[in-house]
Structure 1
Amino acid sequence: MRSTRFRGAVVAASFALSLAAAPAAFAWGQVGHRIVANLAQRQLDPKALAEVKRLLATENDTDLADIATWPDELRDNPDTKELGKATAKLHYVDFNDPTCVYSPPKCPDGQCVVEGIRKYVAILGDRSKSDTERREALSFVVHFIGDVHQPLHAGYRDDKGGNDFQVQFQGKGSNLHKVWDSGMLYTRNLQFQAYADLLAAQGAVTLPKPIPPLDNPYAQWAEESCKISKAPGFYPDKHEIDDAYVAVERPVAEERLREAGKRLADVLNKTLD
């Protein structure tokens, strides 16, 4: 994994431009993924935090936010393009079913975000693996737990997670996936650190109760996202994202970011303690 210091500088320099440009069709975009990572790091216990810091230091990084977007950047780097292709299907799960019930056939050959999280949590917790493997796994865990909490990365429609659902947003053509990735979050006009401060100031998040008979928390998180995407009004009837839509749905997105941050911290505390 290449160092993320240069990436961080580029992101900071180009943030103003990204507010006007259509964001990439990745879950939460750069700001959202970094918010999740930042919220999680605040909730790590001392042993887990020490191990996270040790793994990050192997490439001169200091915070989980530094590696939160790396899995989305793989396909743009010739040196990591093949890994990007190999892990592309691990960013989402297609329910293709309005009941939003997860079962193994929803994840053929383990190629979905539910099994992606399971795979990389296991690698991260395996002390026999090299630091390089475990650091890479840490980045995937941070990223995929963010992904599974984005409602359109566990959608029930046959529309490529909302990418095929065209909308008008802020006077420009876009699609619902992009709006949920970053568009609504950018309406806050906050950098990720300030945004995370805002969400953290709301206090501890109350997590949804377990969904019986599921005994797979990662699958539950996907089911929660799917059910959000089928709620009335989530898909706007007039294909227009107006201020009223943002007023209703941005708090939903922010709650998912808070839940993802808490759950990521819980996973890392359990895996690394």
Structure 2
Amino acid sequence: MQRDRGGVVHSIFRVNQVKFTLPRNRGSGFGSALILVWAVLIAPLPGAWAWGPEAHQVVGYIADLHLAPATRNTIGEHFNIKSLADVSLWADWVRKERGQGPWHYVNIAENAREYQRDRDCPTGDCVVEKIKEFARTLGDKDRDLRERKEALQYLVHFVGDVHQPLHVGRASDRGGNKIILPYKGEMQNLHSLWDTGLVPGLREDLVQYAASLDARASDEDVREWSVGDPEAWANESYRFAVDHAYRVGGRLDKEYIRKSGEIIEMRLIQAGIRLAQLLNRLMD
């Protein structure tokens, strides 16, 4: 049990070596409903586009809040980038013309427990391996500045993508794109709902929304979420996909929508914090 930066009392839960901090006051944080979701993850576990543009910008704004001063100065002075949110959509803009669609997701083999490169991404053309590749490029100070800026822009986007559970989904349904459900009077695919439709705060001012999400993360959360690597992040997403996102049935009920929103908001916060910490390490 601990208090966050706003004084809210939290309870700590550890699932598969990933520790999550849940606010006891549901109105001020992720809520106790996620206890039910995360409890399922203790049991063994048996393609796509991106988060919507607003969600990617939220990840960028959260990351801005966690950049070290030296990192922020380097990004501004060397790459002429004021906010990471400003370049968070660039990888989507160039995706089609460069034929880079597969870089934004990874499909996990049916009934697999976790990501394995040799099986799931043998050519290296998936979001997990591209994060590794562009991290190496950005961290190499001998590389051309233009190459490093492109690498940074890819990282801002791909770290967001790998935290969307259905970007680490099944090939058979293209990460939920083939699962069609009624929602708000329209038929929509499950993947697009997780990209934008189920994200709770996208109607708000995005800078304020990002700040409000970030305020929910305790100092302990920030420390815990600052470790790990792209494979670990992908495996987290896969667990959420298999144990919650895909368990939708034939319709979206209120409980599913509520739990999904809580998971999505946590993943946005984790993505922003981890993006910032990755950039801090690479630009140290």
Q: Which category describes the TM-score, using the shorter chain as reference length?
A: 0.7 to 0.9
CA distance in 2, matches of 1:248, 1:109: 35
| Secondary structure class of the residue paired with 1:189 | coil
Identify if the C-alpha distance between structure 1 residues 90 and 233 changes in structure 2 by more than 3 Å, giving closer, same or farther: closer
Match of 1:93 among 106, 111, 115: 106
Shift of 1:209: 6.7
Identify if the C-alpha distance between structure 1 residues 72 and 241 changes in structure 2 by more than 3 Å, giving closer, same or farther: same
CA distance in 1, matches of 2:185, 2:205: 23
Query: Which residue of structure 2 aligns with residue 49 of structure 1?
Result: 72
Indicate if the aligned counterparts of 2:245 and 2:260 stay in contact, CA closer than 8 A: no
Shift of 1:113: 0.9
1:269 aligns with 2:280: yes
Indicate if the aligned counterparts of 1:123 and 1:134 stay in contact, CA closer than 8 A: yes
Shift of 1:143: 0.6
CA distance in 2, matches of 1:233, 1:127: 40
| Secondary structure class of the residue paired with 1:237 | coil
Letter in 2 for 1:89: P
Query: Which residue of structure 1 aligns with residue 29 of structure 2?
Result: none
Query: Which residue of structure 2 aligns with residue 229 of structure 1?
Result: 241
Query: Which residue of structure 2 aligns with residue 121 of structure 1?
Result: 135
Shift of 1:245: 2.2
| Secondary structure class of the residue paired with 1:269 | helix
Indicate if the aligned counterparts of 2:106 and 2:167 stay in contact, CA closer than 8 A: yes
How do 1:220-259 and structure 2 match up within 5 A?
Answer: 220-232=232-244, 234-238=246-250, 240-259=251-270
Q: Cα deviations across residues 15-48 of structure 1 (Å, max 9, x unaligned)?
A: xxxxxxxxxx632111111111111111011111
1:27 aligns with 2:39: no
Query: Which residue of structure 2 aligns with residue 219 of structure 1?
Result: 231
User: Which residues of structure 1 form unaligned runs of 5+?
Assistant: 1-24
Structure 1 stretches (4+) deviating beyond 4 angstroms? 207-210
Letter in 2 for 1:255: M
Indicate if the aligned counterparts of 2:107 and 2:170 stay in contact, CA closer than 8 A: yes
Shift of 1:234: 4.0
Match of 2:186 among 156, 172, 175: 172
1:142 aligns with 2:156: yes
Query: Which residue of structure 1 aligns with residue 209 of structure 2?
Result: 195
Letter in 2 for 1:101: E
Q: Would you say how many aligned residue pairs link Structure 1 and Structure 2?
A: 234
Match of 2:221 among 193, 206, 210: 206
Indicate if the aligned counterparts of 2:200 and 2:261 stay in contact, CA closer than 8 A: no
The structure with more strand, counted as a fraction of residues:
2
Letter in 2 for 1:34: Q
Shift of 1:188: 4.9
| Secondary structure class of the residue paired with 1:167 | strand
Shift of 1:186: 5.6
Shift of 1:179: 0.3
